Structure 1
């Protein structure tokens, strides 16, 4: 998890959670409640997936929420988990989206014992 944060400037925190919101792993600071973050991300991802399905937009790739001090991106990891990436105002979100597909594949392989 720490390697993910170190590879792209602007990433401040990361977490992997099961789709039911249970925390699997986290690299977060003291101010972030990792378990609460996992639960919120799972709920948001579920809503985003339903929205994409209801509007016939294909398969959800990611959900991104922007705030005044940065953003939170949530990526599905197969059908079993999700990856949350928190970034500050310096995070290049377009680069994040380009760089993350292989990372998501690696996380999926680890979680399904295919690594």
Structure 2
């Protein structure tokens, strides 16, 4: 059986960037598409990431900074990063304190583009 191409992208990002622990792709309204998680509840993560994305988009628009690329939340135990994927999707990344943040930003851009293409093929956009 062929592996889900979105899940392949998520696992690849985890493999390429030190510190990435869990990932999920969801719609902007919080519906889970695919998750690569071990401890997080993927449906809850999707809903919270959608709220985070919406707030980030609204804040960026209000202050005139243009389209949102990502929201970075740093916690005592690590990071939560939410990337906009096209108009209708998002990528949520959970990472530990050892996250290589610059590498994540470099690797995430092409990953987000590929995810957008995959979601568009699946008629989410």
TM-score computed with the length of structure 1 as normaliser: 0.94
What is the rounded CA distance, in whole Å, between the counterparts of 2:107 and 2:13 in structure 1? 10
* 1:48 correspondence with 2:49: no
Q: Which runs of 5 or more residues in structure 1 are unaligned?
A: none
Q: Point out 4+ residue stretches in structure 1 off by more than 2 angstroms.
A: none
Q: Which runs of 5 or more residues in structure 2 are unaligned?
A: 1-9
TM-score computed with the length of structure 2 as normaliser: 0.87
What is the rounded CA distance, in whole Å, between the counterparts of 1:78 and 1:111 in structure 2? 9
1:22-70 C-alpha deviation (Å, 9 max, x unpaired):
00000001x2110000000000110110000011111111000000110
- Aligned length in residues: 113
What is the rounded CA distance, in whole Å, between the counterparts of 1:102 and 1:6 in structure 2? 15
What is the rounded CA distance, in whole Å, between the counterparts of 2:79 and 2:97 in structure 1? 7
User: Secondary structure at the residue paired with 2:121?
Assistant: coil
Match of 1:20 among 23, 29, 34: 29
What is the rounded CA distance, in whole Å, between the counterparts of 1:91 and 1:68 in structure 2? 13
Aligned Cα root-mean-square deviation (Å): 1.1
What is the rounded CA distance, in whole Å, between the counterparts of 2:67 and 2:27 in structure 1? 18
User: Corresponding residue for 1:62?
Assistant: 70
